[in-house]
Structure 1
Amino acid sequence: MTSISPADRRSSAGDGEDLHDIALRVLWLSTSMIHHANRIRPNPTGLKVGGHQASCASMVSIMTSLWFEQLQPGDRVSVKPHASPVLHAINYLLGELDEKYLTTLRSYGGLQSYPSRAKDPDTVDYSTGSVGIGATAPIWGAMSRRFVEGRFGADDSAPRTSGFSGRQYSLVGDAELDEGAVWEAVIDPGITELGEIVWIVDLNRQSLDRVVPNIAARRLEKMFDAAGWQVITVKFGRLLEDLFAKPGGDALRTRILDMPNPEYQRLLRCSADEVRTRLPGSGPDAAAIAELIADLDDTLLTESIRNLGGHDLDALREAYSRIDDTRPTVIVAYTVKGFGLPTQGHPQNHSSLLTVDEYAELARSLDLDPAAPWGRFDEDSAAGRLCAATAERLRREPVPASNPPAVPTDIGRTPKGTATTQAALGRTLIDLTREAPEAAKRVVTVSPDVSSTTNLGGWVNKVGVWSSSDRHDWFGDDAETIMHWREGPSGQHMELGIAETNLVGLMGELGATWSRWGQPLFPIGVMYDPFVERALEPWSYGIYAGGQSILVGTPSGVTLAAEGGAHQSIKTPSIGLEQPGCISYEPAFAIDVEWTLLASIARLGRPDGTSAYLRLSTRPVDQSKADVPTDPAARERRRRQVVAGGYPLVRRDGATVTIAAMGAVITEALEAAERLSKVGVIADVLCITSPGELYRALQARQGRGVGESWILDQLLPADRATPMVTVLDGHPHTLAFLATVNRVASTSLGVSNFGQVGSLDEVYKHHKIDTDSIVGAALDVTDH
């Protein structure tokens, strides 16, 4: 196992001047992409295109130094959203991006507004855009890579540092640290051993609207340090450090460090004479500071005041050399927002654009032609040779294709007695280890401290808990301990703290290993269903970025009667219906859980794969009511219907109403059908397993989507079209569209208000999803 020294990490670096030339060209190209999108490209609608020239400029030195001196092929970088043009500019100089794309920023089919693994034409390691999510993604990427290497071996083609394959960098804006999800990730105890994690904070002290008065680097440093991170601060560049070494320099240093952020930012907009007046201040050391700067050349004075460490290539190089790779590292780099642009340091420069005249001024200062902005360096120039050497050093081998192992469609057993859909989850996973061990090896479960209460205890006992190193189980010899917590690199369950955003962030990266390293995994995350909404944004973003996973929300709905409104989910069924890149299921019976879970696992870890969401319940249900066919062909037909979205549970001759029920309320639906028959109203009962799949089938039948519509013919044949009652433990609109299949009269029952505490019967009655309410709705819709 080899180790990469700091010197090795900059083996292709030049003499410094060529790196400086590259930084200026990156500044120019990133600025030009945004300028072209807003000032040159036709915009017939007149709608704002946008872009962030100032946010790009503050990152230019950091990213140039990182790419052209530090990165190795095994490293991965998450780029802050607003700096995407800087990434594209670097990729262009490295020959990874065709010139034709430089005029397509934020246009249809062109460069995306924010870095996108799925949609950009050049190399993007992490999709970013939703503030905070991209910052934390490399943490979960590091954990995922360690899991893959521990179970399936390391990628020997990637250089290794201190036992891991490549660093995981996050380039983070300081305002991005306002996101609570960032700190949930930073303080998670499971990451303290992940030395490959390196964050670089662009400390420009500005947000969208203003200079933030209380962004204090020291406070941030203490927070990272308290979490066990190595903290490296890059405050000042060489020009300022030279001034600090002179008489009066200590006073100048103290004055700048103690200065409020807005006051310092105002200095950046001042002439040399104004700096000489404002900088000394009114403190006891004002005279010493005034004397120090009195005779400085005007240009040197104005350059020095903005000579912060995040723009000094030597200071950045020294900071990178101090990374010790034994624990996570954060580099806090002081920067100027808009550095090098006419708008630098202005409090409202976040989304401001250079005028045509300002753009021409920038071109003159760089000796470039604004009419021909896309030039690369001459191949024989020092900068051109450095670009070529860097491109060669960072070249990655293509990710090998790896087909996931086969997943069975049916374990073959028929559940009996009384059971819950939640308990069926754990049993199916254990069955998978026996029936398909190769597939089971790819399963990794994740939970936020709810493994036992979501029925994963048996699975965890069997496969163990993952950690980056072996840990002793001090309760392993305790006879009263039912759930065994054996931790080591071979474990297949990961448990984070009570932070759902961390869980789904990890799920997204575990679900992307097939595309990153050619090793498909089957990640299954379990959380209480009421908290799915809390986790939805980062999970959705993970799906957008290509992370395929299964999210299990359990227990769910107002069926959690005793828990009250705080723990009763209402909107999650419609979330499952509406989430792109995801197939949702709410099974009513244990066998439905098995079939839908296995089908969902089989869709993971492949280029055409998709994620899934299963909404499960703790309500015991008589499994004989599933009436599973005993004939093998009929059983397979039922299984296909379950996976496709639903199946007829009760068919009666002369039916005059259809009850379509989903999940936990299937018991009430069946009871309602029996009672209706006693008053002469014959009811069919449909068990809906996936409203999303049925909606897609309906769209396909109408020519508005791609897919098959056969399930509609079997579930809702036109010759059995009757008035319909839909019912579920969730928002009623989730199933309301079913009446449009055959255009029948309908009533939709469900939960549209916050829940109540009570018994199951009381709560169901309160929300009108009880048997009486279903019977009444059926009588109304059939006009009996």
Structure 2
Amino acid sequence: MTDETLTDPGPGAGATATPDPLRTIEQRVLWLSTSMIHHANRVRPNPSGLKVGGHQASCASMVSIMTSLWFSQLRPGDRVSVKPHASPVLHGINYLLGGLDESYLTTLRQFGGLQSYPSRTKDPDAVDYSTGSVGIGATAPIWGAVARRYLDTTVGGPDAVAADRRSPTVLARQYSLVGDAELDEGAVWEAILDPSVAELGEIVWIVDLNRQSLDRVVPNIAAGRLEAMFAAAGWQVIMVKFGRLLEDLFARTGGSALRSRILDMPNPEYQRLLRCDAGEVRERLPGSGPDSDAVAALIAEVDDETLLEAIRNLGGHDLDALVGAYEQIDDTRPTVILAYTIKGNGLPIEGHPQNHSSLLTVEQYDELAASLGLDPSHPWGRFDEDTDEGRLCAATAERLRREPVAPTAPPAVPTDTGKTPSGTSTTQAALGRTLLALSREAPEASARVVTVSPDVSSTTNLAGWLNKVGVWSPNERRDWFADDAETIMHWRERPTGQHMELGIAETNLAGLIGELGATWSRWGEPLFPIGVLYDPFVERTLEPWSYGIYAGGQSILVGTPSGVTLAAEGGAHQSITTPSIGLEQPGCVSYEPAFAIDVEWTLLACIGRLGRPDGTSSYLRLSTRPVDQRLAAVPDDPAARERRRRQVVAGGYLLRRSESPQVTLVGMGAVSTETLAAADRLADQGVAADVVCVTSPGLIFEALQARRGLAEAASWILDQVFPPGRAAPMVTVLDGHPHTLAFLTGINNVPGAALGVSRFGQVGSLEDVYRLHGIDADSIVRAALDLAT
């Protein structure tokens, strides 16, 4: 895409002259966003003396973009992800539109008030996407678009989706407002480069190209490189470089030389011009190139005030240019608008290389008020209803009004299919089998399940599920291997499929399941998203997944295979800290089942927690280790079976009971086999051992906290699994870091030994690797004898 095709829309690119009310509103939005931060730092009492902060310069560079977008472009069904540091701009616009009470304007970064960054779940006004973690908020609308399309083609999208089409083929748009420095985050490009994204014509990104990061002016403008990268990914690229005033100067004699000079100069040199008076600009702007005389002659014809205004007249601050850019969006592919801006535009700190977190002084704030004709002692005024600005605000509020979402109650999920696994199996294999059983036992609930994986469907035992439900695609695609008898996994892509396959990019998986898990609150239709990936990569996935949970997305993350039980894979493919991550992650219940029946019960319970106001996310850590399922000793009596199920879901159960225990062995997940073997060997030596199988250390910890009055949770599981009357010295063991279960000795204050993995692994047999890390039966027996004798 060349500079001549989609460049510099300006007033001649189909835009009409912007009415004065919009310019006045633009100034008011700048004032409100600046004032919110000013009040939080300069006016509101701060007894602690800790920095409150805020980003007046980052807000200022977005004011024109957001004003033009909200007041001229958005429709009710459109959704916008606002760059984190521009949250006061969003609140200022919501205030002018009547969506935020004035009392909140003084509460930025205050407990119970406006959040530091836009939050769907914590801010009092309308926020479409939670942002704040670099790269995550920017890409969220991509996955939100996929989620809307998935709803439309599977369970039936909400009426709001269908009713908001601009044409029979164009969905409501999903906008991302992105700072150019955020494009340094690799997660952004992981999302942009996923092949499926090129089909999402409703995606529109607007990049605030202010050429500054937190600490510096970015040396190279990189706009051409960004243009080429987006275009190579199949995006429409629209450049908005200059405003009306500069375009007029470019049309004069010497204008082409001036244009080239501005485009070619290094970023820091341009930023320095913004700190100069008119005389310095006349001296510096021509430069020393062959066209310097032509530039000097041109600007000599311009008065000082116009010259200073001209060097600030970039496209991202020209409302006409921005509106013209919006009119060029073709809706057939994703679009990115690269808008040249100035960080701190309109403020005394504009263009300063360290203005990222700078705050206006009281004197500067008063000067700004005077320049805008406003009263700094009464900063929160709206426009009168009978003014042009007031009427435009009212009309915009009515145009953007959304009907309240009435959530559909999720279908009932069974708690037990009634089958008892036999033979030898793995917890990983139980995942696919449980999903297939759900499709038979509860088809309505199964229809809401959508699985997502990053190119690991077959190796994580999802092949049977995938063969049954198919792969989701907006359009049906031919399976060229359908008639190949040796192809076991059939890749049938169709709009009704219930599995989504991404490239090898775990961040994308986390973003997608987060948005699929938010459809119940966005559009009133619940989904049950399950993301499956290798457990060693859960830590890579954790940050975007955690942010999705924070933003209200409810999903299930399955990590499999896990631990040093992957003996033949060696240290490169092992997970040590993931059990404790599951314990510590807010908004998440974690499980590490030992047996196939435990997988069924916990997975069904996790699905039953999704898609509801009081719902929660879950993490399951599964293994490829074959285990004799008879060791689970599932009770035959229906009441006893239900009691076991409840214990499994609550966090643990007594797997083996001795007459009078001298030691308690507590195992979790894959090493339960070693735990039982150690109990048998101890019995041969006259040492009685109870064996406890923990399925969720997090739930056991919450129960312990509740018993101590430090949390609100049920504590009954402690009395059933760790009754005081059977308290004995304790050995805990897991294929993960030992501290995950070390707290269990505190339930009854008994001596203990915590066994687990705290070093990188080695390639070898399972027996060799377990012995290396001290989680084999020998190590358990030794630890138990040390405690019991």
Bucket of the pairwise TM-score, normalised by the shorter protein: over 0.9
Map 1:341-740; keep pairs closer than 5 Å. 341-740=347-746
Amino acid across the alignment from 2:452? V
The 1-side partners of 2:639 and 2:538 are apart by 37
Question: Are the aligned partners of 1:500 and 1:531 in contact in 2 as well (CA < 8 Å)?
Answer: yes
Structure 1 residues 592-625: Cα deviation after superposition (integer angstroms, max 9, x where no partner): 0000000000000000000000000000000000
TM-aligned CA deviation for residue 401 of structure 1: 2.1
The 2-side partners of 1:215 and 1:776 are apart by 64
SS class of match (1:152) = coil
SS class of match (1:301) = helix
The 2-side partners of 1:21 and 1:566 are apart by 59
- Structure 1 counterpart of 2:166: 161
SS class of match (1:742) = coil
The 1-side partners of 2:428 and 2:65 are apart by 49
Question: Are the aligned partners of 1:265 and 1:346 in contact in 2 as well (CA < 8 Å)?
Answer: yes
TM (norm. structure 1) is 0.98
TM-aligned CA deviation for residue 302 of structure 1: 0.3
In the alignment, which of 99, 104, 107 is matched to residue 102 of structure 2?
A: 99
TM-aligned CA deviation for residue 206 of structure 1: 0.1
Structure 1 residues 228-252: Cα deviation after superposition (integer angstroms, max 9, x where no partner): 0000000000000000000000000
- Structure 2 counterpart of 1:10: none
The 1-side partners of 2:45 and 2:75 are apart by 40
* 1:173 matches 2:179: yes
Could you tell which deviates more after superposition, 265-274 or 438-447?
265-274
Question: Are the aligned partners of 1:232 and 1:329 in contact in 2 as well (CA < 8 Å)?
Answer: yes
In the alignment, which of 303, 306, 312 is matched to residue 297 of structure 1?
A: 303
TM-aligned CA deviation for residue 209 of structure 1: 0.5
* 1:140 matches 2:140: no
The 2-side partners of 1:110 and 1:504 are apart by 29
SS class of match (2:747) = helix
* 1:204 matches 2:210: yes
TM-aligned CA deviation for residue 161 of structure 1: 3.0
Structure 1 residues 308-352: Cα deviation after superposition (integer angstroms, max 9, x where no partner): 000000000110000000000000000000000000010000000
Amino acid across the alignment from 2:164? P
TM-aligned CA deviation for residue 500 of structure 1: 0.1
The 1-side partners of 2:680 and 2:659 are apart by 14
- Structure 2 counterpart of 1:3: none
The 2-side partners of 1:654 and 1:575 are apart by 35
In the alignment, which of 140, 150, 153 is matched to residue 153 of structure 2?
A: 150
* 1:769 matches 2:772: no
Amino acid across the alignment from 1:291? A
Amino acid across the alignment from 2:165? R
Question: Are the aligned partners of 2:18 and 2:320 in contact in 1 as well (CA < 8 Å)?
Answer: no
TM-aligned CA deviation for residue 215 of structure 1: 3.4
Could you tell which deviates more after superposition, 167-176 or 466-475?
466-475
The 2-side partners of 1:59 and 1:479 are apart by 57
- Structure 1 counterpart of 2:33: 30
The 1-side partners of 2:19 and 2:283 are apart by 34
Amino acid across the alignment from 1:400? A
TM-aligned CA deviation for residue 754 of structure 1: 0.8
The 2-side partners of 1:306 and 1:404 are apart by 53
Structure 1 residues 534-554: Cα deviation after superposition (integer angstroms, max 9, x where no partner): 000000000000000000000
TM-aligned CA deviation for residue 151 of structure 1: 1.4
The 2-side partners of 1:66 and 1:401 are apart by 29
Map 1:188-227; keep pairs closer than 5 Å. 188-227=194-233
Aligned-residue identity in percent: 78
TM (norm. structure 2) is 0.97
SS class of match (2:108) = coil
SS class of match (1:219) = helix
Question: Are the aligned partners of 2:17 and 2:320 in contact in 1 as well (CA < 8 Å)?
Answer: no
Question: Are the aligned partners of 2:449 and 2:498 in contact in 1 as well (CA < 8 Å)?
Answer: yes
In the alignment, which of 244, 248, 260 is matched to residue 250 of structure 2?
A: 244
SS class of match (2:582) = helix
Question: Are the aligned partners of 1:146 and 1:164 in contact in 2 as well (CA < 8 Å)?
Answer: no
The 2-side partners of 1:295 and 1:493 are apart by 65
Structure 1 residues 680-735: Cα deviation after superposition (integer angstroms, max 9, x where no partner): 11100000000000001111111111111000000000000000000000000000
TM-aligned CA deviation for residue 191 of structure 1: 1.0
The 2-side partners of 1:154 and 1:519 are apart by 8
Question: Are the aligned partners of 2:241 and 2:315 in contact in 1 as well (CA < 8 Å)?
Answer: yes
SS class of match (1:764) = helix
Question: Are the aligned partners of 2:450 and 2:530 in contact in 1 as well (CA < 8 Å)?
Answer: yes
SS class of match (2:758) = coil
Question: Are the aligned partners of 2:158 and 2:525 in contact in 1 as well (CA < 8 Å)?
Answer: no
Question: Are the aligned partners of 1:724 and 1:739 in contact in 2 as well (CA < 8 Å)?
Answer: yes
SS class of match (1:59) = helix
- Structure 1 counterpart of 2:313: 307
Question: Are the aligned partners of 2:155 and 2:447 in contact in 1 as well (CA < 8 Å)?
Answer: no
The 2-side partners of 1:164 and 1:748 are apart by 58
Question: Are the aligned partners of 2:527 and 2:610 in contact in 1 as well (CA < 8 Å)?
Answer: yes
- Structure 1 counterpart of 2:48: 45
Amino acid across the alignment from 2:540? R
The 2-side partners of 1:246 and 1:455 are apart by 68
SS class of match (1:192) = helix
TM-aligned CA deviation for residue 568 of structure 1: 0.5
Amino acid across the alignment from 1:124? V
Cα distance change on mapping 1:478 and 1:713 into 2, 3 Å: same
Question: Are the aligned partners of 2:235 and 2:335 in contact in 1 as well (CA < 8 Å)?
Answer: yes
The 2-side partners of 1:776 and 1:155 are apart by 61
- Structure 2 counterpart of 1:331: 337
Structure 1 residues 264-314: Cα deviation after superposition (integer angstroms, max 9, x where no partner): 000111111111000000011000000000121111000000100000000
Question: Are the aligned partners of 1:659 and 1:724 in contact in 2 as well (CA < 8 Å)?
Answer: yes
Amino acid across the alignment from 1:161? R
Amino acid across the alignment from 1:764? Y
Amino acid across the alignment from 1:402? T
The 2-side partners of 1:646 and 1:270 are apart by 69
Question: Are the aligned partners of 1:37 and 1:49 in contact in 2 as well (CA < 8 Å)?
Answer: yes
Question: Are the aligned partners of 1:420 and 1:620 in contact in 2 as well (CA < 8 Å)?
Answer: yes
The 2-side partners of 1:156 and 1:69 are apart by 24
Structure 1 residues 88-115: Cα deviation after superposition (integer angstroms, max 9, x where no partner): 0000000000000000000000000000
Structure 1 residues 54-105: Cα deviation after superposition (integer angstroms, max 9, x where no partner): 0000000000000000000000000000000000000000000000000000
The 1-side partners of 2:472 and 2:509 are apart by 14
The 1-side partners of 2:260 and 2:61 are apart by 24
Structure 1 residues 632-687: Cα deviation after superposition (integer angstroms, max 9, x where no partner): 00000000000000000000101100000000000000000000011111100000
Amino acid across the alignment from 1:138? P
TM-aligned CA deviation for residue 153 of structure 1: 2.6
Question: Are the aligned partners of 1:14 and 1:382 in contact in 2 as well (CA < 8 Å)?
Answer: no
Question: Are the aligned partners of 1:14 and 1:386 in contact in 2 as well (CA < 8 Å)?
Answer: no
- Structure 2 counterpart of 1:18: 21
* 1:69 matches 2:68: no
The 1-side partners of 2:221 and 2:114 are apart by 32
The 2-side partners of 1:452 and 1:317 are apart by 48
SS class of match (1:575) = helix
Question: Are the aligned partners of 1:52 and 1:82 in contact in 2 as well (CA < 8 Å)?
Answer: yes
TM-aligned CA deviation for residue 15 of structure 1: 5.1
Amino acid across the alignment from 1:73? P
Question: Are the aligned partners of 1:155 and 1:165 in contact in 2 as well (CA < 8 Å)?
Answer: no
